[in-house]
A and B are shown apart, each in its own frame.
Chain A
Amino acid sequence: MVDKIKFELVSPEKKIASGEADSILVPGFEGDFTVLASHAAYLSSLRAGILRIFSSGETTEYFVQSGFAEVSDQGLIILAEKALKKSELNIDSIKEEISLLEKKIMEAEGSIKDKIQKQVSDLRSLV
């Protein structure tokens, strides 16, 4: 019997999901990482992407954007400003956001520009 990891997915409005899972794939800022039970304490920011929760053969997928993943001895906690089930994800609204961000790129400079560019490419990879 493999140990399970506790997880919680929380957005500012409400707690979206919580429970136990075998493993969880988190879209970290610098790349995806998988969290298993008794993972070391870890704090990473998220990029826009898909969070996959594997639990006894089943996979649940959520779209998350802009937030943090915190791993501690209490489990994995994902704080995301935007989080919804992948099936509820609206491709058109993402496309809209991409075009909005692209307009912002024109005005932005320096490090902010790089950040927005990264957001755009993250979102692009989803569409």
Chain B
Amino acid sequence: MPNLKDLKIRIESVKSTRKITKAMQMVAAAKLRKAQEMAESSRHYSKKVVEVLANLSLAMEGKEISSKLLKGTGSSKKHLRIVATAERGLCGGFNSSIVKMAKSEFEAFISKEEEFQIITVGKKGKEQLEREYGNWFLKHFNLTDSDQSTYEIAGSISEFAIDEFDKSGFDTVKIYFNKFQSVISQIPSAQMLIPTAVDSSDTETLVSYEYEPDEDEILDELLPKAITNYIYTALLENAASEQGARMSAMDNATRNAGEMIEKLTIQYNRSRQAAITNELIEIISGAEAL
């Protein structure tokens, strides 16, 4: 049986851990609200861009399109994959669920002998993928070390990806991230970037615009922006998911620490009582011997 002092030290240490996890939970809750607000305020722009793109691609149906970004190259042999994770851990299964999803596709590529390369966003994904897939790494983007806003980061990722697409002859580009469902549920998802998936079912009416400059040139300019927009949305969803996941993970940790403290306190009291009983027996039997 551990002695009383050791137990006391353990109880104290679990108590301070509980304080930390409680604080982290509250910080995550505050950050989550901010992240959700950001996602909310970006939704308007994002919806519009998708709408304009859907309209434009409908208008271009059957016409010659100079940009390969919309329809892709026609084949599917060489892939570029963006894995967006968080900079920090301690957020439950947030990072590993994205990595797991990405891994299963990478394995499929390897078994089909298709070429692929990886761009990582966020330190945690890089760490988890590095050992197994280090050979396929192309570039890594940090989310925090710069004073750039999230949109600027999304811009530089999309610029790099489009550049690589043109230069190195990739056929598809896809991003993995966690979609924010609620605090307790985040869904690992994938979004196709090139060929740009246009969901025209949402567009209520097809408006025939007059274009300036012509359709093709506008499309040329719109597509990179649409891709940036998809990446930006993914990063925002990811940020909200990360905080949500951290919040519920820390909530669990706080509760577990509470349970542990309770158990340890009971153990402490019992051994204290046992020690007293022991001493009493010793005194009584000492007195009897006289």
Contact = CB atoms under 8 A, between A and B. Distances in A.
Interface of A: 10-15, 28-30, 40-45, 66-68, 70-73, 77, 79, 81
Given A30-B213, A79-B45, A45 B218 contact: yes
A interface, by DSSP: helix, strand, loop or mixed? strand
Contacts of B52: 43, 68, 70, 79
Contact of A45 (B208, B221, B229, B232): B221
Interface stretch (B36-44, B81-89, B109-117, B184-192): B36-44
B213 A45 contact: yes
22 contacts: A10-B45, A10-B48, A12-B45, A12-B229, A13-B151, A15-B41, A28-B212, A41-B207, A41-B208, A42-B209, A42-B211, A43-B56, A43-B209, A43-B210, A44-B211, A70-B209, A71-B209, A72-B209, A77-B48, A79-B45, A81-B151, A81-B228
Contacts of B24: none
A81 B46 CA distance: 11
A30 B44 contact: no
Contacts of A70: 48, 52, 209
A121 B191 CA distance: 37
B101 interface: no
Contacts of B209: 41-43, 70-72
B207 A72 contact: yes
Contacts of B48: 10, 70, 77, 79
Interface string B212-228: 11000110011001001
Nearest to B222: A68
Nearest to B215: A43
B126 to A, nearest CB: 26
A73 B208 CA distance: 11
B146 interface: no
A42 B42 contact: no
A70 B225 CA distance: 15
Contact of A43 (B149, B212, B229): B212
A79 B41 contact: no
B149 A13 contact: yes
B41 A13 contact: yes
A66 B159 CA distance: 14
Contact of B41 (A14, A68, A71, A81): A14
A106 to B, nearest CB: 17
A10 B44 contact: yes
Contacts of B38: 13
A43 B211 contact: yes
Contacts of B198: none
Nearest to A28: B212
Contacts of B210: 40-43
Given A68-B222, A70-B52, A42 B212 contact: yes
A79 B240 CA distance: 24
Contacts of A12: 42, 45-46, 151, 229, 232
B197 interface: no
B65 interface: no
Given A12-B46, A13-B42, A43-B218, 20 more contacts: A10-B44, A13-B38, A13-B149, A13-B151, A29-B213, A30-B213, A41-B210, A42-B210, A45-B212, A45-B217, A45-B218, A45-B222, A68-B222, A70-B209, A72-B207, A73-B207, A77-B48, A79-B49, A81-B155, A81-B225
